């Protein structure tokens, strides 16, 4: 009985490690949508936006993580730290400060930008 339980546990652990080791589980294979926090239903204090213009807020990504963010259309890149956003929206939405959003957009009428993320490290 113990051997069977040990076999099941080891098989489950190997399966989990195998899933995380696959290349297609990387974040850079997903597209995130960056929206201007001023034009969204998520609110951030103005003082925080002025002091932390390189922070993007996400309901999905862990707070304190640092990512290399690239716009799929223009190719512009920035290094961004993630802050937590408590909203019940898609996990693939990043709320960008006005200055950070303006950095990525070429046309002021654009409501969102398509972004790819590459994990760099932790703050």
Residues 102, 121, 52, 33: is their CA dihedral positive or negative?
Answer: positive
Residue 18 domain-assigned (yes or no):
no
Judged against a pLDDT cut of 50, whether residue 20 lies above it is answered with no
Residue 82 domain-assigned (yes or no):
yes
Judged against a pLDDT cut of 80, whether residue 26 lies above it is answered with no
Residue 6 domain-assigned (yes or no):
no
Pair type for strands 112-122 and 65-71: antiparallel
Domain span at residue 42 reads 27-122
pTM: 0.70
- Domain count across the chain: 1
Residue 46 domain-assigned (yes or no):
yes
Q: Which two tokens stand for residue 66?
A: 């640092």
CATH of the domain at 76: 2.40.40.10
Percent residues over pLDDT 90 in the chain: 23
pLDDT (mean) for 83-87: 79
Residue 44 domain-assigned (yes or no):
yes
């Amino acid at each position: 009985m113990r051997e069977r339980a040990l076999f099941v546990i080891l098989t489950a652990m190997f399966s989990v490690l195998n899933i995380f080791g696959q290349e297609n589980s990387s974040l850079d294979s997903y597209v995130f949508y960056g929206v201007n926090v001023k034009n969204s239903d998520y609110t951030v204090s103005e003082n925080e936006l002025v002091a932390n213009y390189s922070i993007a807020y996400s309901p999905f990504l862990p707070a304190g993580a640092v990512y290399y963010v690239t716009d799929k259309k223009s190719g512009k890149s920035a290094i961004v730290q993630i802050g937590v956003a408590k909203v019940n929206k898609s996990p693939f939405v990043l709320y960008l400060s006005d200055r950070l959003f303006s950095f990525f957009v070429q046309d002021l009428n654009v409501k969102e930008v398509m972004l790819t993320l590459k994990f760099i490290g932790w703050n």
